[in-house]
């Protein structure tokens, strides 16, 4: 069994007064239980977006092997939440597309950073155990 590892990237999306926490984890259930507010009635499947509070905080949980479609799917949930939160509509296609693209970029970077951090930890573990 693989050792548990998670990497958290927090990104402020200032224009929309939203803070997105991107958690990349080897075990989504462990991360879910550690970070999701008590009383939340959903369970993670492979990836998920969840609203943390009414102050503009949400979280995307991703596995280390997240597929592009899974990232886009969860970013769509986040984008829809932000649009609803700021009272905007979907009529402005460019606005929606730019926001979606930005969220996907944030998740892609978080995934890359998580993989680097995991590799570095593994290398340090090897050095320590020698």
Burial call 10-49: b when 16+ CB within 10 Å, e when fewer: ebebeebebbbbbbbbbbbeebbeebbeeeeeeebeebbb
Q: Is the Cβ–Cβ distance between 22 and 35 less than 8 Å?
A: no
- Is the confidence at residue 66, as pLDDT, over 60? yes
Tens of pLDDT along 73-90? 999 999 999 998 888 877
Sorting pLDDT into bands at 50, 70 and 90, what band is 130? very low
Provide the pLDDT for residue 44: 66
Listed as own residue / partner, the contacts of 72-77 with beta carbons closer than 8 Å and 24 or more positions apart are 72/100, 72/104, 73/47, 74/47, 74/48, 74/49, 74/107, 75/49, 75/100, 75/103, 75/104, 75/107, 76/100, 77/49
Tens of pLDDT along 20-46? 999 999 999 899 889 887 777 777 678
Q: What mean pLDDT value characterizes the chain?
A: 89
């Amino acid at each position: 069994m693989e050792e548990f590892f998670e990497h958290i990237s927090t990104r402020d999306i200032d224009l929309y007064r939203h803070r997105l926490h991107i958690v990349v984890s080897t075990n989504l259930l462990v991360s879910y239980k550690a970070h999701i507010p008590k009383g939340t009635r959903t369970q993670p499947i492979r990836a998920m977006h969840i609203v943390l509070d009414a102050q503009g905080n949400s979280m995307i949980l991703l596995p280390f092997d997240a597929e592009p479609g899974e990232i886009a799917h969860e970013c769509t949930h986040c984008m829809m939440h932000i649009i609803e939160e700021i009272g905007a509509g979907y009529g402005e296609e460019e606005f929606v597309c730019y926001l979606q693209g930005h969220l996907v970029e944030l998740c892609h970077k978080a995934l890359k950073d998580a993989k680097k951090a995991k590799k570095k930890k593994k290398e340090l573990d090897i050095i320590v155990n020698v």
